[in-house]
Structure 1
Amino acid sequence: MSHSHGHGTPESGPPRPELARVLFGVVAAIAVVTAVAMVVLWPSSDDVPHATGPYSGEGVTTVDATVTSVTPWDCGADGGFGIDDQPTAAGDCRTVTATVDEGGEKASFELDPTRHRAVELEEGDDIRLMRFQPTDADEPSFEFRDFQRGFPLLALALAFAVLVAVVGRLRGALAIVGIGVTVFALMKFVLPAILAGESPLLVAIVGSTGIMIAVLYLAHGVSIRTTSALFGTLFGIAFTALLGVVGTHWAQLTGVSSEDDLYLIGTVPDLRFQGIVAASMVIAGLGVLNDVTVTQASAVWEMRALQPIVGRWELFRSAMRIGRDHIASSVYTLVFAYAGSAMTVMLLITAYQQGLLEVLTAEQIANEVVRTLVGAIGLVLAVPVTTAFAVWLAPPAVEGPLSDDSQKVVPKA
């Protein structure tokens, strides 16, 4: 754990094999405990609910199609409120015809004004349809489901991966691998384990710890510097989890604030929704937390290179001046990210002209407010903790005067 990780410059100061061995033992112990916990919590396929979705059943299939025409007609829609007192838009309905990509079958379906304004189909659009034919004797009927987005999403993902690999080189390529590890852990462990009835918060902590151990060492190399960032990150995960539990219960967040939540209750009634809220706070802040801890650890090492003779306290104070600027920008990142994710709800509430206090305390917005505050508090406290770990583990101060050349050596962990 004491070797260089890719800058190609010599290590400052004598090797520290004993420290490297101690840190290796500590990280190995954490990794083993995490792995054992994942094995214990890992659900079997029989434990994960396999509910029937709204678009599955006998005679129901999904087909790709291309819109050939969109014809407006007066269906008497004058707005107001429709089924379940949902507001509806006024205007013309649309008859949409399309050709199924496989087989050339002709499809036709209707869109009311509200649905049309949401999707605004045009001739030539590539769409996905639900095809309903309960028996071979029945005429098939069709319903709009969504647009085809496979190619644009794949193209953007490939462009992102190539750009990161070209600009970031080996580290960029390893970061892409880290994203793959993250997606695998979330899809194969975290989400199935929660659905299987395990404690959402415990699953989130174990999953996040495993993800961070893998991602940090993959993207930043095996070094004492990376280990100091890992320790700060683990503190942030633990503190965010604790504060998430307190904040969720104190604010009386139920975790049920949308139609999707109600569908989930109907599908998996035994889920612990308050636990899911707290778990989401842990996972949602991982990216920014990782960014802050790695930056602080790197700042300490680079400042040690520039100031090899200063004591640890002065090094800590210098690094914290950088950390304060990073705190400010990272908190804004959290706020904007959560505000963007809740934009539709915020627009709807604003349209209803409700008071600011009433808006902020509504369940849907309160979830985001508490999530933002919990994540920000954990983030802020992770900065001095990570800085302290990094200063403690960084190369010690050099005694005596140094030549100009010796002060330019960049220390490596």
Structure 2
Amino acid sequence: MNSLVVLAMLLAILMIGLGGKKGLRSFITLFINFALFIVLLFFMNIPEVNPVILTMIICIIISFINLFYINGTNTMTKTAFASTVFTTLLLSGLILYFANATFIQGFGKEETEELSMASLRIGIDFSKVAVAVIMMSTIGAITDASIAIASPMKEMHQLKPDIDRKNLFIFGLSIGKDIIGTSMNTLFFAFVGSYLALLILFSDLSYSWSEMINSKIFSGEVVTIACSAIGLIAVIPITAFCTSYVLTKKTPPSQQEN
């Protein structure tokens, strides 16, 4: 049996065994997200399609599926989704600026040997592709952070229905402070693990610190991690505010009677 099939089966057993129905939905969501990624690649090859706008739409669809399909439709997922979309739109301008300012589009000289036999005239704006890559890299961290804050805030409101908006907002910020450190380490070690071979190559080629930092591959990953971290930090107060506002919003008497 193929080792990938065995790993997929083991992952499915563990997710379903621990998470039950939510674990099954999470496992199915992996394949749905993969299918959306294939759709993104297919339409990105069409010159008339803007990769940035297409990626933004796919990111919103991914966050919608990850939040509502896995966790259901409730106040927690609605505020988390709204916070994710708002943060993604807010972050897109920052990503556009830094991607163009740092010139990380295209391929680095370390990749020229592998691409020497291929034609690079594919009719795609690589600057927009670089922005699309960063946006796809940030959506996961933003979605995870938003649901990680909205969920305990909802639980707190259920335990203390009389809690006011300010204290509930402060509670959400305190949760955000707790997850910042671990999430930052996750982003950092994801970079180190993915590009450990590249760092070893830099060492074997006797790259100086300035050459390594100014390498297109290295700087592109740094910009991706930095944008992901900024999105992670930005979504914390946004989610805390949206959730505290919705949970403490007074229901009109006419709606209460209905």
Fold match (TM-score > 0.5): yes
- For 2:247 and 2:115, the matched residues in 1 are separated by 51
Q: Tell me by how many angstroms 1:374 deviates.
A: 1.0
AA paired with 1:289? I
- 1:169-184 equivalence runs, <5 A: 169-184=20-35
Matched, 1:339 2:204: no
AA paired with 1:302? E
Q: Tell me by how many angstroms 1:155 deviates.
A: 0.2
Q: Are the counterparts in 2 of residues 171 and 219 from structure 1 also a CA contact under 8 Å?
A: yes
Q: Are the counterparts in 1 of residues 138 and 227 from structure 2 also a CA contact under 8 Å?
A: no
Aligned match of 1:290: 143
Q: Are the counterparts in 2 of residues 240 and 375 from structure 1 also a CA contact under 8 Å?
A: no
Residues 1:261 and 1:310: Cα distance change in structure 2 (over 3 Å): farther
Q: Are the counterparts in 1 of residues 22 and 71 from structure 2 also a CA contact under 8 Å?
A: yes
Q: Tell me by how many angstroms 1:286 deviates.
A: 2.1
More displaced 10-residue stretch of structure 1: 348-357 or 172-181: 348-357
AA paired with 2:169? F
Size of the aligned set, in residue pairs, is: 247
Aligned match of 2:50: 199
Q: Tell me by how many angstroms 1:264 deviates.
A: 9.9
Aligned match of 2:183: 330
AA paired with 1:164? M
Q: Are the counterparts in 2 of residues 181 and 215 from structure 1 also a CA contact under 8 Å?
A: no
- For 1:365 and 1:228, the matched residues in 2 are separated by 35
Moved over 4 A (4+): none
Aligned match of 1:232: 83
Q: Tell me by how many angstroms 1:191 deviates.
A: 0.5
Q: Tell me by how many angstroms 1:307 deviates.
A: 3.0
Partner residue of 1:314 out of 164, 167, 170: 167
Residues 1:335 and 1:216: Cα distance change in structure 2 (over 3 Å): same
- 1:272-291 equivalence runs, <5 A: 272-291=125-144
TM-score (norm 2): 0.89
Matched, 1:190 2:40: yes
Any gaps of 5 or more consecutive residues in structure 1? 1-149, 398-413
- For 2:35 and 2:204, the matched residues in 1 are separated by 40
SS of structure 1 residue aligned to 2:207: coil
Partner residue of 1:368 out of 221, 244, 254: 221
- For 1:364 and 1:388, the matched residues in 2 are separated by 37
SS of structure 2 residue aligned to 1:177: helix
Q: Are the counterparts in 2 of residues 205 and 282 from structure 1 also a CA contact under 8 Å?
A: yes
- For 1:200 and 1:254, the matched residues in 2 are separated by 13
Aligned match of 2:206: 353
Q: Tell me by how many angstroms 1:309 deviates.
A: 2.1
TM-score (norm 1): 0.57
Aligned match of 2:102: 251
SS of structure 1 residue aligned to 2:206: coil
Q: Are the counterparts in 2 of residues 304 and 394 from structure 1 also a CA contact under 8 Å?
A: yes
Q: Are the counterparts in 2 of residues 195 and 268 from structure 1 also a CA contact under 8 Å?
A: no
- Which of the pair has more CA radius of gyration? 1
Q: Are the counterparts in 1 of residues 141 and 228 from structure 2 also a CA contact under 8 Å?
A: no
SS of structure 2 residue aligned to 1:254: coil
AA paired with 1:229? A
Any gaps of 5 or more consecutive residues in structure 2? 251-258
AA paired with 2:42? P
Q: Are the counterparts in 2 of residues 233 and 290 from structure 1 also a CA contact under 8 Å?
A: yes
Q: Tell me by how many angstroms 1:310 deviates.
A: 2.3
Aligned match of 1:93: none
AA paired with 1:192? F
Q: Are the counterparts in 1 of residues 165 and 248 from structure 2 also a CA contact under 8 Å?
A: no
AA paired with 1:368? E
Q: Tell me by how many angstroms 1:346 deviates.
A: 1.0
Aligned match of 1:210: 61
- For 1:261 and 1:322, the matched residues in 2 are separated by 45
Aligned match of 1:156: 7
Q: Are the counterparts in 2 of residues 296 and 383 from structure 1 also a CA contact under 8 Å?
A: yes
- For 2:114 and 2:123, the matched residues in 1 are separated by 13
Instruction: Let me know the Cα RMSD of the aligned residues.
Output: 2.0
